[in-house]
Amino acid sequence: MSTLPHRERAMDAAVDDALRTYPLRPAPASLAPRVMARLRALPAPPRFRLAWIDYALCLLATLMAAVALTFWRFVTPEALQRAQERLIVFLQHAGLATPRPEFPLALAAIGLAAALLLLGVGVWRNSS
Amino acid sequence: MASGDDEAGLVRRAKAGEAEAFGALVLAHQQFVYNLAWRAVGNEQEAEDLAQEAFVRAWQALPNFRGQSQFRTWLYRIVTNLCYNRLPRLRRDLAALGVAEAADLPDAPETNPAVEAEASELRAWLHRAIDELPEGYRMLVMLRFQQGLPYEEIAGILSLPLGTVKTGLFRARARLRQALSALEETAA
């Protein structure tokens, strides 16, 4: 129970009441028409707009793809075999067993595909 | 004002470039946007210009609105930033409030019919006292009591720490209480 005297409580109630009932003025009738007139006067926005982060991610994905393609041209079957073996050794060292030798490369490919898919979804959502 | 689902649909359509959908958002928010600007700048014409500019900027920035906050929070933040640009002192004054008295105010209490009936003159007097509060306090009062926003959302809109918002509202209320006390002593 409150120990405030009656006068104090009445004052608090009056202040609370005034705060809650502080009136809003009506917006001027000309505001919305002026806004819409300004919008109509603006040049038409481009149909496909991206934020800077989308451009950055696209650039990164393109660079990754370019590096992968360039690298792939110089990969011999022996080098690929060595890379697989090293990856398997690394995974075993990290305590991750690999049931098949293709597994690590498949995992990397799935990861890359998922990253590119996420990027695509992000760009599509932003532009729609 | 448009309900949450309606508003989300309007925002989606406006983002796709439908000016009519944005027009509906303008109609839904124009009163509060105008009042927020008016309480900040204290001039009707300037408030209308500022509200207009806020809506135009919202339209232009809409493609970057990702829905991480509510549309109103995002829109009011645009209004607030325009007010800060117009009155650099306003941001400084609000930031200077600090967090000395960061007490939570009680949520809107139950309406007491007796107080309601007796208090119309007193209420009008207190409304004038709110008008005379500094701009920053008036904006806080508007956001908290007219729009019923939680402290966290107000802090996001005004780009202030949560404690500063609580302190500001606490002090606004204390000032009104003080003014009322002085009035009663004068009348006695």
**Is the predicted pLDDT of residue B126 greater than 90, yes or no?**
yes
Q: What distances in angstroms separate CA B6 from CA A35, B12, B31, B56, B65, one per listed residue?
A: 21, 10, 18, 21, 17
pLDDT band at A7 (very low <50, low <70, confident <90, very high): confident
Same domain, A35 and A63: no
Are A65 and A97 members of one domain?
yes
User: What are B71's two structure tokens?
Assistant: 């549309």
More confident position, B15 or A114: B15
Task: Answer whether B38 sits within 8 Å of A25, measured CB to CB.
Answer: yes
Q: Does some domain include residue A1?
A: no
Q: Are B129 and B176 in contact (CB under 8 A)?
A: yes
- Provide mean pLDDT across the span B86-110: 72
Could you tell me if residue A66 is inside a domain? yes
Residue A22 lies in a domain: yes
Query: Where residue B105 falls among pLDDT bands split at 50, 70, 90?
Result: low
Is A65 found in the same domain as A37? no
Confidence check on the interface: ipTM exceeds 0.85, yes or no: no
Question: pLDDT band at residue A121, thresholds of 50, 70 and 90?
Answer: confident
Quote the CA–CA distance of A84 and A122 in Å, as a whole number: 32
Neighboring chain A residues of B38 at a CB cutoff of 8 Å: 25
- Domain span at residue A87 reads 52-127
Residues A71 and A22 grouped into a single domain:
no
A23 belongs to a structural domain: yes
**Assigned domain for A97 exists:** yes
Distance of residue B47 Cα from the nearest chain A Cα, in angstroms: 10
Mean of per-residue pLDDT scores for chain B: 87
Cα–Cα separations (whole angstroms), residue B25 to A47, B22, B38, B78:
21, 5, 19, 15
Distance, CA of B10 to CA of A126 (rounded, Å) = 16
Closest CA to B147 of A22, A12, A28: A22
Residue B49: Cβ-neighbour burial (10 angstroms; 0-12, 13-18, 19+): middle
What is the Cα Rg of chain A in Å?
Answer: 32
Q: Where residue A61 falls among pLDDT bands split at 50, 70, 90?
A: confident
Task: Using pLDDT thresholds of 50, 70 and 90, give the confidence band for residue B120.
Answer: confident
Same domain for A82 and A56, yes or no, is: yes
Q: Tell me the C-alpha distance between B171 and B98, whole Å.
A: 11
Please tell me the predicted confidence (pLDDT) of residue B119: 63
Lowest mean pLDDT among A31-40, A52-61, B9-18, B138-147: A52-61
Domain count across chain A: 2
Which of residues 35 through 64 in chain B touch A, CB cutoff 8 A?
Answer: 35, 38, 44, 48, 51-52, 55-56, 59-60, 63-64
Q: Looking at CA atoms only, how far is residue B65 from chain A in angstroms?
A: 9
What pLDDT is recorded for position A38? 94
Q: Are residues A67 and A88 in the same domain?
A: yes
Report pLDDT for A32.
96
Question: Do A13 and A36 have their domain in common?
Answer: yes
Residue A102 and residue A61 share a domain:
yes
Q: Over range B135-153, report the average pLDDT.
A: 94
Mean local confidence (pLDDT), B50-65:
94
Q: Give the distance from residue B120's alpha carbon to the nearest chain A alpha carbon, in angstroms.
A: 9
Assess if residue A46 is contained within a domain: no
Tell me the average pLDDT of chain A.
Answer: 78
